[in-house]
Chain A
Amino acid sequence: DTAVSQTPKYLVTQMGNDKSIKCEQNLGHDTMYWYKQDSKKFLKIMFSYNNKELIINETVPNRFSPKSPDKAHLNLHINSLELGDSAVYFCASSQSRGLFPGELFFGEGSRLTVL
């Protein structure tokens, strides 16, 4: 039973389109994240979402919007896709324990290619 699952695994689309990536975790964690891994393999935080509090990395364009219907789901919607959005997007979750959220559990990633 997959702990953090993302769909789709691969996504190929044209510039200007709108797309969504879905994420679900069955670990009972209270915090979920979206990370972006670019072509140079750098993993960078995009958003974290905890108990309906959204923390946005200031470098993320507002074309990206996370949506969380409930504690176990955090979807990523991207408007007006650009070539530079091509990357692997990872969803992750963790359980906050006092001051430390603990280790992250990652999904397998969604590879987005914008043509």
Chain B
Amino acid sequence: EDQVTQSPEALRLQEGESSSLNCSYTVSGLRGLFWYRQDPGKGPEFLFTLYSAGEEKEKERLKATLTKKESFLHITAPKPEDSATYLCAVQVRNYGGSQGNLIFGKGTKLSVKP
């Protein structure tokens, strides 16, 4: 069964304390891996797409990397405004009969204290 597991479930950091979030996946055929950010009471907001092992994407203090079994979201010198839940999702070949649907992990809730 296709599965996405994120760890840790929650992460508390001090402002400026760098860390990484993990997304491991077991899927039959990966077409793409996505990172989203979700603020309380809001819908997920797209951050990155990664398609192949070794690929990296960066945006401000965030950097996403991909291997054949997992992805990392590295947060460098985080600020309080980076506090949110970060969701990982995979796009799987022919999931549910559609090529475009995503399987989401449960997310990592990040809190950054000033």
Contacts and interface: CB of A to CB of B under 8 A. Distances in A.
Interface of A: 4, 31, 33, 40-45, 48, 50, 55-58, 90, 92, 94, 96, 99-109
SS of B interface (majority): strand
B41 interface: yes
Contact of B31 (A50, A56, A100): A100
A92 B38 CA distance: 14
A41 B85 contact: yes
Contacts of B31: 99-100
A31 B100 contact: yes
A90 B96 contact: no
A106 B101 contact: no
B100 A101 contact: yes
Interface stretch (B12-20, B66-74, B76-84, B102-110): B102-110
Contacts of B104: 42-44
Contacts of A108: 41-43
A103 B36 CA distance: 10
A41 B99 CA distance: 24
Nearest to A50: B100
Nearest to B49: A103
A102 B99 CA distance: 11
B84 to A, nearest CB: 12
Nearest to B48: A103
Interface in B22-44: 31-32, 34, 36, 41-44
A45 B98 CA distance: 11
Contacts of B45: 106
B100 A90 contact: no
A40 B15 CA distance: 28
A11 to B, nearest CB: 15
A105 to B, nearest CB: 7
B104 to A, nearest CB: 4
Contact of B99 (A33, A56, A92, A101): A101
Nearest to B47: A103
Given A103-B34, A103-B49, 12 more contacts: A45-B102, A55-B96, A55-B98, A90-B43, A99-B31, A99-B99, A103-B46, A104-B36, A104-B44, A105-B46, A107-B43, A108-B43
